[in-house]
Amino acid sequence: MDIFLIGLSIICLVIGLLGCILPMLPGPPLAYVGLLLLHATEYAQFSSTQLWSCLFAVVVVQILDYITPILGSKYSGGTKWGNWGCVIGTIMGVFFLPLGIIIGPFIGAIAGELLGGRGLSQAMKAGLGSLVGFLLGTVVKLLLCGYLGYLFIVEVF
């Protein structure tokens, strides 16, 4: 049974890493489930403090993941139009992997701002802000999932 749980844990961790890049998969929560599955085996026993700390980090990162592109757009002068364009561009970018996931939020924010009546220079500025916010959120998710993977490796090997 332990081997099965470890295998399932590895699958969750790998899909969790993929979920950091693909917006349709909740990366950090899946990686955390992988950690919990490993905890259920005899190979690894995490302390309650470790498990609660990791859960807290996962919740915070998930919330920040939705906020950072909006904050990036907002602080670079974007409006709600740009924010919605960023979200739609992110979803559409999934269909044009791997480059689409990076360019999608940028183009979406620009298109949203243009549809909202903003000028091209202001739309470009908002697009760049949302892109920076999206990339920052992705990096933070990757770091967290990498850390959860590190905990897995330390405990198993």
Model confidence over 17-42: pLDDT tens digits? Answer: 999 987 778 999 999 999 999 999 99
Residue 30, φ and ψ in degrees, nearest 5: -65, -40
Domain that holds residue 125: 2-156
**pLDDT at site 82:** 83
Cβ atoms within 10 Å, residue 54:
20
Instruction: Give the chain's domain count.
Output: 1
Confidence band of 13 (pLDDT split at 50, 70, 90): very high
Confidence band of 5 (pLDDT split at 50, 70, 90): very high
pLDDT of 97 higher than 80: no
What pTM was estimated for this model as a whole? 0.81
Is the C-alpha dihedral spanning 29, 34, 35, 41 positive or negative? positive
